[in-house]
Structure 1
Amino acid sequence: MESKYIISLNQFADFSKGTNASKRRIIKQQKVPNKFMVAWYQLPKARIRKSIANHCDLKPILDGIEELKLRKPEKQRQVLDRAVSIEALNRYVGIKLPDILRSVPYKIIKKVESKSIILNGIQIVISPDVIFKLKIDGKIYLGAVKVHISKNNIFDNIQSRYISSLLYKYLKEVVATENEVVLDELCLSIDVFGDKVISVPENLSKSLSDIKGICEEVKSLWNVA
């Protein structure tokens, strides 16, 4: 199931608070993605995923910091990437994730039917960084994490709640089987430079209603951007 309107989750969060000009720029980027654009901060993202997958073990993070310190970047872009990546990993060490991720064993789900959901005619590419399954008192629960690393573009609480709400909806619609329950407090938007972890808001229906309104705006700008 696909839509001609496609936007990635973090870009959707950007769009929700953007100026008219930045919203048009985001739409243009989504319509014609730059296949040669190199992603920033690949090492810290990979190390954070590994840390969470290993029950919040900080060894992958600390090893990543040491690996980055040993790198000898030549280009200015590499110098900047290295510096921000080290800072991101150091910040992540101080972020407090839910205790349940340390106290309850869980499995990582790697194969999923789709990385997207369709909402109000928009295909939103959720692509969680980690999806986990855990068993408590005989019941199977699911959770997921989306990580955001940007020093100059920190998500506010509302943007982060949009992300956790969409993670929840994605798990419910795409991943969860009949006997699996999606756990609100384990649908987590992690903003590393914002030093925060935001789970599903209490008023989920209000958050999803706002998201549907943003979807309408994406569609309205799609053909004119």
Structure 2
Amino acid sequence: MKEQYHRWHSPNLNLDVEMLVFGDRGYPVLLFPTTKGAYYQNKDHGLIDSVRWFIDEGLVKIYCPSTFDDITWYDKGIHPADRARRYAWYNKMLLEELAPWAMHETGVGKVAVAGCSFGGYHAANFAFKHPEKVGHLFSMGGAFDIRMFTDGYYDDNIFYNNPVDYLPRSDNWALWQMNIILGTSDWDICKEYNLTLSHILNNKNINHWLDIRPDGKHDWPIWKEMFSHYLSTIK
């Protein structure tokens, strides 16, 4: 399995971004780590190995960027407005730098986005904000209401990065073209967030699969089962 390390200076963040890339061809998948996770976290926890067959067969090429949770939503040392503003810059980096890079390298006109736990938020937010760029969304144990990090403060950056707020008002045609899978389980601490998001999608008649697995917990073993299953739905 081909593995490459990349580091570049992002003009949107004015910071360096690190990333691991797995594979040499196939549908591009942006795979986000969990809370404060580094770019190598999904490899270290076995999520990449769980889908090795798809990579070796050239079906997918997986991009694992670093996140900046510690200086955005999780930075309690700055005002919530600054947390949201910094996250908006991160989103611009994904939109203007990483997604075009992945599409250019693979020759595919859209990306898939995926992530476990808080990585599921990153994936879902990018997909619902920019559905014309995303063909597939795979969230595993995700939570989708960012207001838990804003201490009661609210502004446009929070609204437009909080899927449960902006999605009900969105009429972007590409939402109805996306393959959306929300993975959760009976004992998932984020199960209610998935039920809420599924309800919003149902109210908009947006087709999706709410995958509730029996007895599973909010942890890597079930996410590895989910991820390999979900990649098999990419056409």
Query: Which category describes the TM-score, using the shorter chain as reference length?
Result: under 0.3
Of the two structures, which has the highest relative contact order with CA contacts closer than 8 Å and spacing of 6 or more?
A: 1
Larger Rg: 1
Q: TM-score, normalised by structure 1?
A: 0.26
> Where is the strand percentage greater, Structure 1 or Structure 2?
2
Q: TM-score, normalised by structure 2?
A: 0.26
